[in-house]
Structure formats: structure tokens, C-alpha cells
Amino acid sequence: MALLLTEYRVALAAAGILSLFIIYLAIGNREKQGVRPLLVMCTGAVIWITVKLAVSMVRGTPAVLYVTRLNTVGSSLTVVGFFLFAIEYSGYEVPVSKRTTAVLLIEPAVVNFLVGVDIEYLWRPVGRTDTTLTGYAWEWTTIGQLHVVFQYSVMLVGLLLLIRFAIQSAKIYRNQTVAILIATVLPLSSSFAFALDYTRLNPVPIGFSISALALSWAIYRARFLDIAPIGRSAIIDDLYAGVLTFDRDHQLVDINAQGRRICGFDDSELLIGRHVSDLLTDRPELEDVYWTAKSGTFDRECEIEFDDRYYSVEMTPLRSGSEQLLGRSFLVREITGQKRREQELERKNERLERFASIVSHDLRNPLNVIQGHAELARTTDGDVDDHLDTIASNTERIEDIIEDMLTMTREGDAQSREPVEIAVIAQQAWDHVDTLDATLEVDTELTVDGTPTRLVQVFENLFRNAVEHGSTSPRSGAHEDAVEHGSTGPDSQTRQDAVEHGDETVTITVGPITDDDTVTGFFIADDGPGIPEEERDQVLEDGYTKSEDGTGLGLSIVSEIVDSHGWEMHVTDSEAGGARFDIECETGTVETVDNGAEPGPIGTR
């Protein structure tokens, strides 16, 4: 027994020194997850080991009965510290709350109070013996047995928490997993060995010291807590933004539910441990951000777009206390709504700028003409009808410009949609336009989901455009805001273009656009001179016109109305060689109707 006792004292001393060293490390790294509970556990182990050494020195004497009282202080702190470490390290509670700590300390506090009053509340000495460390034989009381059950239960739950955590993290952190398993199994197995009389001397304090060593290695050496544990607080999982964390080997170590959704992964897919290039194959935009961040040219935050959605990506480098790079964490937030509002604000600002530009430029010309002819009319003794006609004409011109400007500035306003028959809209627009001798043919029975007043404006502007550039008849006060197809002068030149085209009147056709017998939209075509291919994009821009008195807003207004419906418009040639405007509607917004009408000419003027 003497030799065994000596070896036990050496082992206790070594374990005590080891625990003190771990306490020294823990004090300097208190901010790390799990370190404070580890500090409690090692402190308890030091007290426990010190009591065991003291008992071995005074074994068999009455002093043992007093020194042994401190035994429960060390064991209680060690077991409670181990459990607190388990729940914090595995992410169940980070950091451990004061309430949890207080609840766990209730039983140890009561037991230690009772032992302080009288040791026989836990153990009763029943005689001397040489087979125990104290030199006494002991008998457990009911309170003592319940205390042992409490400690074993706490140790077992902590063990299960750490084993579960180790299994979840094993694919990336194999070395750390081994350390955790050693740290969790050793104290419990040594405790069982002593309880079942496999050893005469209690090896549990030594087991906890070795456990602390393994846990310290996992924390400080293997960087297990420096990046992101799998168990995290619920706020990360429920966070609306996606969170992706990679280690310095570019492997994923953490991703929350929103991050999975953004990256297109199901909850059941195994992602932890995958390389960034393999993980983000279907999200090259995100992968580009990652490698840009790695290269050092990333500005911590950027915006990307994929799948018609906008995202803000913020990168945070993860560093150790010595500023060593351990990995990178990316916060991915969807900002589609914000971008849409910004784009809408930009469009409104652009409309206001165009409004100001037209007011300052296009209204000035007719106003100057009116002022000039008014002065001439005042100084003319003879007939002033020509001057008055010019003034009236320019007054109508100002009215047309103002009407176009109001249409343009109102275009962004939200308006309700409803089923609209294209044939009905075409007829209404035709009635509003001075169509001269033109003919309209409607060869469609379509219904679209749109805003009636806006669609009437679309047809009005396209009808005016066709009439003014395809007819040889006098313009008779028709709106002059359309783009002239090849015209470089006033009315005479427009008529000359039409004559060269070979027609005295223009025919306008409204018909369906089909794709494999499926109606996808409608077109407005004429048999006028057409629009040169190199000008087809320009004619839809604000202010583009070859007319001396045009605003260049007619087709721009059409384009904006079409865009506001989510549709697309393309300019091409008609079968007769004139201009054709194809308007492709959204899927599901087009359907055919049977109103019983025969397609054909609606009328001429």
C-alpha cells in the first residue's frame, strides 16, 4: 500500500501542476467560448487534488475527518464546471447564463453546507483500515448516495452533449473530436472504476486533469472554437440573412437555414466540409466574391445579382488573438425590395429631369415664335391672320408638349390592372386620333391583363406615328410628337416620303403574336416607309426625333408604358415593308376571346 500511495501522490501532484498550468492559460483567454467553465473545472480539480494529497499525508489520524470536508468542494466545482463547459462548448447556451449556473450550484451548495456542519451527513466512519486513502472505512448515508447520483447524472449528460457535438463535427475536425472523446470518457470511466472497487484509490481527480488537458488542446492548439461550432444559438438559424463561414482551407464550417436557401440547398444535404469551389458551383457570383475577398481586393461589402434577385454580401475575417487568419464569415442579405425602390426612384428622377429639360428647351421654341408673331401683329397695319394662325398653331404645339409631359411624369404611378380586349382598346384609340385617310384592320381576339388608360395611350401614339409618316394627306392638326421615319423636314417632306413609298394612304394592322400556336402578345404594323434598322433602338429613347417641331416623346412614352406592365417591345419590319411594333406580354396575361366579331377594317377618316 505504501508504494501504491507514493505513486498516487506523484500522479496527484502531476495532475495538480497540469491543472494549474491550464488555469494560467484559461485566465489569459477568457473571451474564448467554453474557457470560463473550463477554468471552473480546473479550479475544482486543483482543490480536489490538494485535498487528496493532504489526506494522504494525515491518513489514519483524526485530522482526516476535517480535511475530508473540503473534498466535496473540489468535486462539486469540477463536475459542475465540466457540465457548464459541455453546454457552452456545444452551443446549447452561449455564454452560460447566471440562472443556469445558480440552478446547478443549488445541490452542491446544500451538500457542502451540511458537510461543513457535520461530515457524517454524507459519510460515517465505521473503523480504521489500511485499504483506503484516508485510513478509515466509510459508510454512505442517504444524502451521500443522492449526492453521488446527482454528480454521475450531471457528468453523464455533459458526456452525451460533447459526444453528440463531436459526432456532428467529426468530418472536419478529426483530431479535435478525438480530444473531446478522451476528455469526456476519461472522468466518467475513472469514476465508475473507483465506484466498482477496481481501484483502491480514487483516480477521478487525475481523470479530470487529463480531461482538462485534452479540452485545452482542442481549444488552443486545434482552433476548434476559433471559427464556428456547429451548435449555435437559435438566432443564427432564424436570421433572415444567410451566414456562411469558411476556414482558411476554404472548407465550409457553418451555414444557417437562410444560407442554404440562398445557395439552393435542402436542409437534408450534407454541406459541412465541402470546398468553396464545390459548394458554390451553381452560385458563381458568390464564389467570385469569396476569391476576391481572399485576394485582398474585397471592400468588405458588395452587391451581387442572380436569379433576378439582388443580394448584399458582407465579409468578416476571423482572426485569433494573435491576429492569425482563421477563416472568413459571409453575411448574405437579400435586398431585392430595396433595389427595386431605388430603381423606381431613379426612374422618377429621370422623368423629372426630362420634364425640366423639355420645359427649358422644347417649350421655349413655340413661346419665342408666339412672342415674335405677336410683336409683328402689333406693328402690322394690314392682315394679321397669318400671324394669328402661327400663334394658334404654336399654342396647340405647347398643349401637345404639356400633354406628353404629364403622360410621361404620371407613367410611374401604380394603377390597377384588369382584363382588357385589344380590339376594344384599338377602337378607342382610333377614335381619339386624327387618322386622316388611314385604315385600321384589327385581326385579333385577345384579352390582356393591363391598365386600360395606359394601353389606349400606347395605341394612340403608335397610330399617330404610323399616320404621320405614311399618309400623303394634310396633317390637319395631328399630334407632331412622333418620330419621323427618314423625314428631314416639315409636312412636304413627310408627304414626299409616303409618295416614294408608293401609297397615298396608310393601312395599320393590329394582330396577334404566336409561338407554336400559342399567343404571346400582339403587334401594331403599318405599310408606311418603315424605320431603318440602325435607328430602331434610338426611336424609343427620350427626345429622339427628326421633326423640327417634335418632342421625341411619343415612342418613349409607349416604351415606358410597356415596361411598366412587365412586357417587352421590339421594333422590326412589317410584311408590307413598314414599321412593326411587337409587344410580348408576360406569360399568363394573354388569352383569346370570342366576341363574335369578324376581323377586318374598322374604319377610315
Q: 314 and 287 share a domain?
A: yes
pLDDT at position 501: 40
For residue 536, tell me if it sits in a domain: yes
pLDDT at position 110: 94
pLDDT at position 361: 56
For residue 147, tell me if it sits in a domain: yes
Q: Residue ranges of the alpha helices (H) in 197-283?
A: 204-216, 234-238, 257-263, 276-279
pLDDT digits (tens, 9 = 90+) for 127-180: 888 777 777 888 889 998 999 899 889 888 888 887 777 666 544 455 565 666
Q: 389 and 446 share a domain?
A: no
Question: Structural domain of residue 393, as residue ranges?
Answer: 358-414
Question: What CATH number did the domain enclosing 489 receive?
Answer: 3.30.565.10
Neighbour count for residue 456 (Cβ, 10 Å)? 21
Q: 450 and 551 share a domain?
A: yes
pTM above 0.75, yes or no: no
pLDDT at position 446: 92
Q: 424 and 379 share a domain?
A: no
Q: How many CA atoms lie within 13 A of 266 on its CB side?
A: 2
For residue 342, tell me if it sits in a domain: no
Q: Which of 414, 448, 483 is the last residue of a domain?
A: 414
pLDDT at position 192: 67
Q: 410 and 420 share a domain?
A: no
Does 475 score more than 50 pLDDT?
A: no
Which range (122-131, 345-354, 359-368) has the least confidence?
Answer: 359-368
Q: 144 and 71 share a domain?
A: yes
Report how far residue 539's alpha carbon sits from residue 556's, in angstroms, rounded to the nearest whole number: 8
Question: What CATH number did the domain enclosing 200 receive?
Answer: 1.20.1070.10
Q: Which of 160, 189, 221 is the last residue of a domain?
A: 221
Q: 87 and 205 share a domain?
A: yes
Give the count of domains, the chain: 4
Neighbour count for residue 131 (Cβ, 10 Å)? 10
For residue 229, tell me if it sits in a domain: no
Do residues 597 and 445 touch, judged by C-beta distance below 8 A? Answer: yes
pLDDT digits (tens, 9 = 90+) for 53-93: 888 888 888 888 888 888 889 889 988 988 888 887 776 77
pLDDT at position 168: 60
Q: Which of 386, 414, 442 is the last residue of a domain?
A: 414
pLDDT at position 189: 73
For residue 352, tell me if it sits in a domain: no
Does 205 score more than 70 pLDDT?
A: no
Q: 44 and 170 share a domain?
A: yes
pLDDT at position 394: 81
Report how far residue 307's alpha carbon sits from residue 315's, in angstroms, rounded to the nearest whole number: 21
Q: 113 and 210 share a domain?
A: yes
pLDDT digits (tens, 9 = 90+) for 272-330: 888 999 999 999 999 999 998 888 776 678 889 988 899 999 988 887 545 667 788 89
For residue 596, tell me if it sits in a domain: yes
Q: 154 and 36 share a domain?
A: yes
Q: 447 and 476 share a domain?
A: yes
Do residues 443 and 601 touch, judged by C-beta distance below 8 A? Answer: no
- Per DSSP, what are the bridge partners of residue 273? none
C-alpha cell at 576: 408590307
Does 15 score more than 90 pLDDT?
A: no
Report how far residue 394's alpha carbon sits from residue 65's, in angstroms, rounded to the nearest whole number: 116
pLDDT at position 175: 58
Does 245 score more than 80 pLDDT?
A: yes
pLDDT digits (tens, 9 = 90+) for 137-150: 888 899 989 998 99
For residue 556, tell me if it sits in a domain: yes
For residue 503, tell me if it sits in a domain: yes
Q: 297 and 402 share a domain?
A: no
Does 243 score more than 50 pLDDT?
A: yes
